[in-house]
Amino acid sequence: MLDSIHQILPSLASLGLLGYWVIGAASALEAFFVTGLFVPGALVVDAGGFMVQRGLLDFLDLVWFVAIGSMLGGEASFWVGRHARRGMLGRWNVEEMRVYIRARRLFERYGGFALVLGRFLGPVAAFVPFAAAMSGMETRRFRIWNVVSGFPYALGHLAFGYFLGSTLTRMSPVMTRGAVFALVIVLVLVALWWTLRRLDRALPHLLALIGGLFDAIARHPVAGSLGARHPRLARFAVARLDRSQFRGLPATLMALAFAYLLALWIGIAFDFVRAEPIVQVDARLAQLMHLFWTPALIQFFTWVTALGDTRLVAALLVLALVWLIVLRRTALILGLVVSLGTDLASVALFKASFGRPRSALGYFTETSGSFPSGHATLSVAFYGMLFYLLWRLRRLGPVTAALLAATTAFLIGLSRLYLVEHYLSDVLAGWTLGALCLVIGIAVAEWRRSVAPPRPRNLAGWGKALMLVLSLALVGYAGLRVTDYTKTRNPRPSGVGDVTLSQPGEVFTREALPVNANTLTGERSFPINIAFYAQDAQQLTGTLAPLGWMPGHPASLGTLARAAFANIRGQTGAAVAPLFWDNRPDDLSFSTDARAEGGVPPRLRLWATRFVDGQSRRLFLGVLSRDDGLDLEDGAPAPDVARALAKTLAAEATGASRQAMTVKGRAEIPLLLLK
């Protein structure tokens, strides 16, 4: 009996896993009528069923998390609905919402059973408890139906996700890894756009709800008594939260955003000045991006980075200013000029002040300083302002404008990282500085708009035609600047000459090179625990392959993406996530089917150094670890495997002899000399 209860109730081990909590929280957010308008909780729960099918989560434990989360969300919706009956939501006319009307009709027809049916009707699910409270449903009766409705919802969606995972498993033999990867990307994008579309529709109602809650707080007796005791504080608070004028709530929110962004930028700058770990991440990420270069991606990101070209930006600026002048939108003109002007001045000042040199691995030759990234700053300050203008001119919805602005900034910043024109800290600082400039520009535009409201002009037919011709000409010129973007290429970094060692341990003593390899973030390190003297990588591969060590594909964006699916299916021979020694990603990687210690296979990562012995054999340093190939944070060094491999190679008819590298304060490192 106790064993059965333990299997059904959530185990303590499951409560400690983040995945259960995230999926349970998603079900709760979808069941609460405010967040249920835009949070795709059902999709997250379906993904949980997929994870159950893969053996990553336990089915019964996850059922409890999802069911309880949906119950809590329904309880919160019911509680707010009871207060809405008392008129505490002020200006929010929930009765006018289409989704509420559907929920109310469902409740009027089916009563308490509507809570069960509504769970499978998207955003309607969150409004059925709300409608029940508005209709005066008894609390005790609601809670019974709320509990009853949680389990069918959990079982149904998890079963659907499980079925989807099972179907994909059956299809996997006839689908290429690229097709599976593309399918996942499409599903993620569809889910993102679906969520943003719902948020765009729900935003006016959410703002009205927040305004109603503020009204309810202001009418509360406690707030009244506090205001009577502290009249100055009350007047200050009321003025700061006044939505009727710019100096009220809009200015308060912008000031808070500016203070937060300024503190964030100062933190990034201090991290750079004090050579915090992010600087080490910069060097490792630059090496990794250089490793990921492919002709197609270089061409794509060259087009993206061309969006920061001076002549292209000038063309778009002229186009925006001409349109704003014709439409008599003085406030928006002022905001655009201030945002871009602040951007250009601050970037020039900080580049000269910090004087950080560019990476030698950069694809194009750049002469200006590296910190902060001017392209990243421009991507937010200028392009973000353009999308703000389109929103103010009612050409885009607020969420769509924000999404396009964020996507543009992300791609431009990513292009600078991929082409190794900037380090990660440069781009982060640039985005933050650009956001500061954008906030200043929007604040100026909104202030001017409140002082002098716009008086739009309607263009005549000939005026529209003239503006259309001008727009096509400038946009066409900008397009040509993207397709014809050319800059001087950086020469490939020249290699350093070979260094002959009398003793292999000199690599750590005389040369003072690191004895550990690190993950990209530097949070985990793995000791160098095996080494080889070999003529080249081909000799190493030929020696290790007969012993069951399969070479991994070279790390790239494509191979690592495919490796994620290979890892889930238990396949071998896929690429493994790199470690970094001396800030360089590994040159070779090997995996074997031999499993131990919880079924985690050993992985061998090797670096070709510039050091050779008297016979011109190159020194390869290696890390043998147990990890799943992708998540290195949970990996562990495997010195026992290193010793066993060295013993096997020395005993086999491979012509290898065994020595040892001595490092002060460390265990001896097996050294294999291949002949």
Extents of the domains making up the chain: 2-219, 254-483, 499-673
Reply yes or no on whether the pLDDT at 636 is more than 70.
Answer: yes
Which pLDDT does position 11 carry in this prediction? 38
Q: How confident is the model at residue 213 (pLDDT cuts 50, 70, 90)?
A: low
- 530-534 and 669-673 beta bridge pairing: parallel
Which pLDDT does position 210 carry in this prediction? 64
Q: Read off the pLDDT of each residue in 591-597 and give the average, rounded to a whole number.
A: 65
User: Is the pLDDT higher at 370 or at 92?
Assistant: 370
Q: What are phi and psi of 623, to 5 degrees?
A: -120, 120
* One-letter identity of residue 131: A
* One-letter identity of residue 628: D
Which pLDDT does position 385 carry in this prediction? 92
Most confident among 43-52, 175-184, 304-313, 520-529 (mean pLDDT): 304-313
Q: Is 575 helix (H, G, I), strand (E, B) or coil?
A: coil
Cα-based distances in Å from 162 to 10, 45, 54? 19, 10, 8
Reply yes or no on whether the pLDDT at 567 is more than 50.
Answer: no
User: Is the pLDDT higher at 9 or at 298?
Assistant: 298
Q: What are phi and psi of 158, to 5 degrees?
A: -65, -40
* Burial profile 469-499: b = 16 or more Cβ within 10 angstroms, e = fewer: eeeeebeebbeebeeebeeeebeeeeeeeee
CA distance 22 to 93: 32
What are the tens digits of pLDDT across the range 98-145?
777 788 888 888 888 888 887 887 777 778 888 888 888 888 888 888
* One-letter identity of residue 183: L
Q: What is the DSSP string of 298-337?
A: HHHHHHHHGGG-HHHHHHHHHHHHHHHHHTT-HHHHHHHH
Reply yes or no on whether the pLDDT at 365 is more than 50.
Answer: yes
Which pLDDT does position 389 carry in this prediction? 92
User: Is the pLDDT higher at 445 or at 136?
Assistant: 445
Q: How confident is the model at residue 382 (pLDDT cuts 50, 70, 90)?
A: very high
CA distance 445 to 340: 13
Reply yes or no on whether the pLDDT at 348 is more than 50.
Answer: yes
Between 213-217, 235-239, 240-244, 660-664, the lowest mean confidence (pLDDT) is in 213-217
Q: How confident is the model at residue 388 (pLDDT cuts 50, 70, 90)?
A: very high
Between 97-101, 320-324, 548-552, 585-589, the lowest mean confidence (pLDDT) is in 97-101
Q: How confident is the model at residue 473 (pLDDT cuts 50, 70, 90)?
A: confident
CA distance 288 to 615: 32
What are the tens digits of pLDDT across the range 17-68?
677 888 888 888 888 877 776 677 787 888 888 878 777 788 888 888 888 9
